[in-house]
Each structure stands twice: as structure tokens, then as C-alpha cells.
Amino acid sequence: MKDWAFDGIDIDWEYPASDEDAANMVLLLQAVRNELDAYASEHAPGYHFQLTIAAPAGSSHYSKLRLADLGRIVDYVNLMAYDYAGSWSSVAGHSANLYANTDIPQSTPFNTDDAVKAYLDAG
């Protein structure tokens, strides 16, 4: 933090695949939060170093996370709202759509609106 004048850390864990992974992610983030707070206490009294995560926008990934626990630890969630479709998709689709396509749902298996609502609903 001191040498590079960082104001915090962003963690990008792609992606917790099990309950054990999700629990370990919470433990990791809590340990990092504790260390950031201890560092601030010693080297930058009164300063709050940011702890953020890069978080998935696909329900198959975020449904495995402990969102309420994460929300109590991190300062911000940076939603990775892109790569919704690509070479892995069975049909052409939008790469970073805001809403689901109600006329052709298979073209938008993921959408930013649903992801944001899920994160907010979880706290």
C-alpha cells in the first residue's frame, strides 16, 4: 500500500464453484479486510483502504456466492457485466445486454438487470 500508494485491493476470484469455495472466499476477504484495517491503524490512522471484488453477472456463478456475507465485508462490487455470449454459446446473443430479450429469451441467457437485482436483494 505504501510503496505504490494503493488505496485498496480488488479481488477477482473466477469463480467459486462449490460451497467450500464460497466459504473460503468469505474467509479470504475477511482476512484481507482485517489486514487492511490493521495496516491503516498503524500507517494511516483514520484512513479506510478499499476492498472490492470483481463479481460475476451470470446467475450460474453468483448463485454459488455468499452474497450477504460478501456485502458485509467489501466496500464495492464491480459487476463483470460482459461476455454474456461468445464462441461457447449455442446461439448468437448479446455480449453485454442490460435487459433480457423477452421475444427471444435464448439470445440473452444473462442480463445485467437480473444480476444487479440479485446482488441488491442479497444485501
Of 78, 76, 75, 77, the C-alpha closest to 37 is 75
Q: What are phi and psi of 76, to 5 degrees?
A: -145, 155
User: In the numeric block, which cell numbers belong to residue 111?
Assistant: 442480463
Catalytic choice (14, 20, 35, 42): 14
Residue with cell 451470470: 58
**Is 14 an annotated catalytic residue?**
yes
H or E element in which residue 53 lies = strand 50-56
**96, 82 Cβ separation under 8 angstroms:** yes
User: In the numeric block, which cell numbers belong to residue 60?
Assistant: 450460474
Catalytically active residues are: 14
